[in-house]
Amino acid sequence: MTRFDFYFDPVCPFAWAASRWLTDQAGRHGAHVDWRLMSLAILNEDQEPGSDEQRRRLETSRQLGRVFVAAVDEHGHEAIEALYAALGQRFHHAGEEMTPEVVSQILVGVGLPAGLSRAMHDESHDEALRAAHRRSQDALGEPGGSPITGIDGVHFFGPVLSDVPGGDEAEALFSALVTLAGTSSFSQFKRPAGGPPTFTD
């Protein structure tokens, strides 16, 4: 069985696109995915945000990261997958602002206590968030953004997807990444990234 470790920041659209592709392909191939948190807010905290929009997004990253670590602390690692799936639909597809009220609704929808939304503004969760992010960077072996994907213990930055592939293309990408991860001499293959994906459904 192929095993994936998928490190994501909940506000990252590239990670969201990759996660939807991976969820589908893991089901088709009998692969196992461990969903793990990282933080773009922490990765970029020594850099000045380029715009007000970027500043707001990084603050949302930190707030949602706190909610995830609080959910894991109280309900175990298994809470991540359903929470990410539900939150991503509201954030990336519906474009909703992640207020405590909206986050409470999302939590209740996946069977978690609404009160976990209070973690958004609770700095006591920051050390656990920092530790989760540090594990993502240690797994990659150098600073890297979202997502970071481990395939049978071999970790890469990416895949960076500008859309969610389907059909034969999705199958081909899965097979290619598993093959590359199993090729000990392979290190990196890169082309300029397209714009961030847009989600309309």
Pick from 125, 165, 136: nearest CA to 21: 165
What's the number of domains the chain is made of? Answer: 1
User: In terms of DSSP bridges, do strands 3-8 and 32-37 run parallel, antiparallel, or are they unpaired?
Assistant: parallel
In a domain, 198, yes or no: no
In a domain, 141, yes or no: yes
pLDDT at 49 over 90: no
Q: What are the structure tokens assigned to 163, written together?
A: 């859309």
In a domain, 22, yes or no: yes
In a domain, 60, yes or no: yes
Contact between residue 4 and residue 33 where contact means Cβ atoms under 8 Å apart: yes
Task: Report the CATH number that the domain containing residue 134 is assigned in CATH.
Answer: 3.40.30.10
In a domain, 41, yes or no: yes
For residues 175 and 194, which has the higher predicted lDDT (pLDDT)?
175
At 151, is the secondary structure helix, strand, or coil? strand
pLDDT classification of 188: cutoffs 50, 70, 90: confident
pLDDT at 181 over 70: yes
In a domain, 90, yes or no: yes
> Residue 176 sits in which domain range?
3-181
Determine if the pTM surpasses 0.85: yes
In this prediction, residue 196 carries a pLDDT of 83
4-17 residue pLDDT tens: 999 999 999 999 99
Contact between residue 65 and residue 41 where contact means Cβ atoms under 8 Å apart: yes
In this prediction, residue 190 carries a pLDDT of 82
Helices (H), 30-109: 40-43, 52-75, 79-88, 100-109
pLDDT classification of 93: cutoffs 50, 70, 90: very high
Query: Between the CA atoms of 77, 69, 49 and 163, what dihedral angle is there, to the nearest 10 degrees?
Result: 30
In a domain, 197, yes or no: no
Query: Between the CA atoms of 186, 188, 92 and 173, what dihedral angle is there, to the nearest 10 degrees?
Result: -40
In a domain, 199, yes or no: no
pLDDT classification of 201: cutoffs 50, 70, 90: low
